[in-house]
């Protein structure tokens, strides 16, 4: 199991900048090595700030970057809760990126078929590999320790063969479409972005290993880097 790396930054703007720097570094490294960069984006307010800054970057070859999603709500792409809509408004609409490079989850469909369709798209992209090898997966952590749409007590926590699953989330009375842990854990790098004092207690328990009850603790790259970028407010108990 890879040891997590921790980077503490002063505040939210610094966290956004650190996220952009890490994204850019991973992109340049992957493109130099393999001619393309495959990244899975996360939803939420913290990555939105990163995407807005990325839209201003003029040193990234967008035509060589393929955008995927770690999870999605079971809503149409123009819905206010759609992760795709957020990424589109903050990033895609502001850069010149080929349409075929943006691999959104067809979450306007029923969740089960949407998950199967997205897994098929990933398998077509990554070829005959047993598991996808994203260059970077961006994740957040909820106050309950969930990440992507892998919530405490949900069935997808135990998925060990599918890449993408429709996961019933009891607290929201709805399905979410999400990458399963094995697909996440085969990435070259996983980057958590965590901000805010309300995350400090859970972050302490997650990183100090006080319990093993939080889904995000199951993010353990098999052969890759695990990076936590957190602001001082979130890190106050570390």
Domain membership of residue 238 (yes or no) is no
Number of domains in the chain: 1
Question: 170, 153 in Cβ contact below 8 A?
Answer: yes
Domain membership of residue 163 (yes or no) is yes
Does pLDDT of 58 surpass 90? no
pLDDT-derived band at 5, boundaries 50, 70, 90: very high
Which range marks the domain in which residue 192 is found?
A: 5-231
What's the pTM value of the predicted model, to 2 decimals?
A: 0.97
Burial of 179 (0-12, 13-18, 19+ CB in 10 A): buried
pLDDT-derived band at 1, boundaries 50, 70, 90: low
- What distance in Å separates the CA atoms of residue 154 and residue 176, rounded to the nearest whole number? 11
Strand partners, 139: 192
pLDDT one-digit tens code per residue, 139-164: 999 999 999 999 999 999 999 999 99
Question: 108, 76 in Cβ contact below 8 A?
Answer: yes
Strand partners, 230: 8, 194
- What distance in Å separates the CA atoms of residue 87 and residue 110, rounded to the nearest whole number? 22
CATH at residue 51: 3.40.50.1360
Task: Copy the structure tokens of residue 159.
Answer: 């998925």
Domain membership of residue 237 (yes or no) is no
């Amino acid at each position: 199991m890879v040891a997590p790396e921790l980077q503490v930054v002063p505040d939210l703007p610094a966290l956004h900048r650190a996220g952009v720097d890490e994204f850019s570094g991973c992109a340049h490294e992957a493109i130099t090595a393999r001619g393309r960069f495959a990244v899975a984006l996360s939803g939420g307010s913290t990555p939105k700030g990163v995407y807005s800054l990325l839209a201003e970057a003029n040193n990234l070859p967008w035509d060589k970057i393929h955008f995927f999603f770690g999870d999605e709500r079971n809503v149409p792409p123009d819905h206010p809760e759609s992760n795709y809509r957020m990424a589109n408004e903050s990033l895609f609409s502001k850069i010149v990126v080929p349409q075929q490079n943006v691999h959104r989850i067809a979450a306007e469909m029923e969740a089960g078929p949407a998950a199967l369709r997205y897994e098929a798209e990933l398998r077509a992209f990554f070829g005959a590999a047993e598991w996808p090898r994203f260059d970077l997966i961006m994740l957040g952590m909820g106050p309950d320790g969930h990440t992507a749409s892998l919530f405490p007590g949900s069935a997808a926590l135990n998925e060990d063969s599918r890449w993408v699953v429709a996961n019933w989330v009891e607290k929201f009375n709805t399905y979410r479409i999400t990458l399963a842990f094995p697909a996440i854990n085969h990435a070259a790098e996983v980057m958590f972005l965590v901000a805010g004092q309300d995350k400090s207690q859970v972050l302490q328990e997650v990183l100090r290993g006080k319990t093993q009850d939080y889904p995000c603790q199951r993010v353990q790259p098999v052969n890759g880097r695990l990076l936590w970028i957190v602001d001082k407010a979130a890190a106050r108990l570390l």
